[in-house]
Each structure stands twice: as structure tokens, then as C-alpha cells.
A and B are shown apart, each in its own frame.
Chain A
Amino acid sequence: MKPRQEIRNALKHYRLQAGGMTQEDLALRVEVTRQTIFAMEKGNYNPSVGLALRLAAVFGVSVEELFQLEEGARDA
């Protein structure tokens, strides 16, 4: 099921940029299951603020760089 919030993320982009980190590697770094990483990358799950901050810290970027509102949602 897709979440109602229109948020897209660049998780996969940063994960691949970080030396081909696997979903499993990232899941271990932020202490969730691989399924959770998969669901986030597919846009089926929006993480909590805490998890978003942990993910951003892993890639050394800001939360806003990882997660953005879709264009339509931002204008509304």
C-alpha cells in the first residue's frame, strides 16, 4: 500500500553512490530490517523523523536532501 503523503526520496541514489552499499548494509547501519529499506525506496513507507535523521547521518547529507515533497504537494 502506498502512503498518502506525497514524499519522494533519494535513498537509492545515495546508497548506490556510497560505494554500492546494499540494502542489507544500510539496514544494519540504521538498525531496521532490509524490508524497511526496500519499502522506503519503493515509496511504500515514509520513515519517522528519527529514522530519517539516522539515514541522513549515514550518507552525510541533510534530511531535506534525502526526502522531498512532490511538486504538487508542495504547491498545495
Chain B
Amino acid sequence: MPSKKISELVRPKLVPTVAGALVILGFALANLTRGQAWWWCIVLTGLGTFGPGLLRELGWLKDKDEFEIQAARRAGYHAFLASGLAAFLWIAFVRSGPRQLKSPEELATFFAAILWFTWMFSSLVNYWGARKTAFRILLAYGAAWMAFNVLDELTHPVAMLMQSLLTVPFFLCAWLSRQWPRSAGVLLLVASVALFILIARVHEARGLGLVVSATTMVLFIGPLFASGIALLLRQSAESDPIQQEEP
């Protein structure tokens, strides 16, 4: 293997790995340790999330080609539009009635969730196309849910098996998104609405705040809903076929 090829394979993985480690470390230290001062560790998460982009803008990190940079910048604009609109909707909602925020810092989490989710999803669609993005998101959902179920029911094999069956729709929908993208898109939209109603009822029963519910919706249902919309809006079968290496 030529040396350049090795560097191509290694270099792009290094930055996301370091950034991802910082994100996880920040959350872990802030949550696992005692004392409010430890919440300063959350800054590590911020550095992991936004640090690489800042370094790229300053010209100190050159790990992306022009197409990747264009996708990221376009996604940044989409994130600006989504979080800006959300901010005005939020102000209108809060000011239009006697509403009290339970914990103001959760509001920051909500807007960070919108900003991050929109940027991430948009850059993936710009880079991979709708079909590949939806396929990978659904696979990731299915795998994460299965891992959670397996770890949660380690001592109860039957329960583990039954719980794991809940992940089948994700894998099925992933397969469907490759074969019949529009049908998968419709299914994802229907599933998103059903999950929205389910989560809203669970949160209402538990008395969770509006901001917590909204953040959960954005991060949990958002990718499924956005994948459904992206699959329905994709321009043609030619625009983003699942890519095969061509001779």
C-alpha cells in the first residue's frame, strides 16, 4: 500500500477520534464526579464539538477537502436557520402566556441540540446523499438500541431476546431505504409522529419539563423525521445511489 494511501486512511480518523474522546470525557467527568465545580469539565465537550471546526476556520487544521468543507459550511448555514427560527418560536411561546422555565440551563442544552443536530444531519446529507445517510442512521439506531437492551438484560436471556426484537423495525427500515426510499420515507414520518405522541405522553406522566421533552424529541425523533423528509425530497434515483467503487 503506498504511503499516501495510508495517510489518507489514518489522517481523517484522528481528528474525529480525538474530538469524540473529548466529548465523552467532558460528559463523563461532569456527571460522574461530585461537586458543582466539576461541571467546568463540560467545556471539554464544547471543545470536542466545536474545536475542530474552529481550527479549520483558522487554517491550523487541514483535514478536509473542498467538497467536505463546502458540505460543512452549508450545514452551518442550515443550523443557523433552524436554531434562529427555533429561538423566535420559543420567545413567542414563552411571552404569549404565563410560562415559567424550571431550569434555564436546559434551554441552552435545547438550542445546542438543535444547532448540533441540524449541522450534523445536513452535513451528512450534503456529503453522502439522503439514502446513504438514512441507511446509516437507521443502522446506528438499531445497533445502539440493541446494545442498550443486551446490556440492560444481561441476566435475563428471554427478556433480552424479546427486547432485541424491538430493533428489527430499524434494520428493516434501513434495508427498505435502499430498495424503496420513498416508502421508507413515509414509514419514517409515520413512526416519528407515533414516537412523538408516545414520548410526549410519557414525559407528561412523569412531569418532565417542556425543555427536557423538546430536547429529547430533537435528538431522538429528529434524525428519524429528518431522514424521512430527506428520503421523500431526494431529487432522483441518480442523485445519490448507494455508492459502488467503479473501475
Residues of chain A at the chain B interface (Cβ within 8 Å): 1-2, 12, 16, 20, 22-24, 28, 31-36, 38-40, 42, 44-45, 47-48, 51
Chain A residues closer than 8 Å to B246, beta-carbon distance? 12, 22-23
Asked if B68 lies at the interface with its beta carbon under 8 angstroms from chain A, I say: yes
- If A22-B247, A32-B65 touch, does A45 touch B4 (CB 8 Å cutoff)? no
Q: Check B70 for interface membership: any CB of A closer than 8 A.
A: yes
What's the A-B contact tally at a CB cutoff of 8 Å?
A: 54
A-facing residues in B50-71 (Cβ within 8 Å): 65-68, 70
Q: Whose C-beta in chain A lies nearest to the C-beta of B128?
A: A35
On whether the beta carbons of B68 and A42 are closer than 8 Å, the reply is no
- Is A42 in contact with B239, judged by CB distance below 8 angstroms? yes
Size category of the B interface is 20 to 34
Among the listed B4, B66, B67, which residue makes an inter-chain contact with A28, where contact means beta carbons less than 8 Å apart? B4
Q: Are B128 and A24 within 8 A (Cβ)?
A: no
- Asked if B247 contacts A35 (CB within 8 A), the reply is no
Sample of 20 further A-B pairs with CB below 8 A, known A1-B125, A44-B239:
A1-B126, A1-B235, A12-B246, A22-B245, A22-B246, A23-B245, A28-B8, A31-B65, A33-B12, A33-B67, A34-B245, A35-B67, A35-B128, A35-B243, A39-B67, A40-B67, A42-B238, A42-B240, A42-B241, A44-B129
Q: Are A36 and B68 also in contact (CB < 8 A) when A1-B126, A28-B5, A44-B129 are? A: yes
User: Which chain B residues in 223-247 approach chain A with CB under 8 Å?
Assistant: 235, 238-241, 243, 245-247
Interface string of B118-130 (1 = CB under 8 A from A): 0000000111110
Give the complex CA separation of A53 and B66 in angstroms. Answer: 14
Least CB distance from A20 to B in Å reads: 5
* A35 CA to B247 CA, complexed, in Å: 15
Task: Provide the residues of chain B in CB contact with A12, threshold 8 Å.
Answer: 246
Do the beta carbons of A16 and B247 come within 8 Å of each other?
Answer: yes
A38 B243 Cβ-Cβ under 8 A: yes
Closest 8 A-B residue pairs measured CB to CB? A36-B67, A32-B65, A20-B247, A45-B67, A48-B66, A36-B65, A33-B65, A38-B243
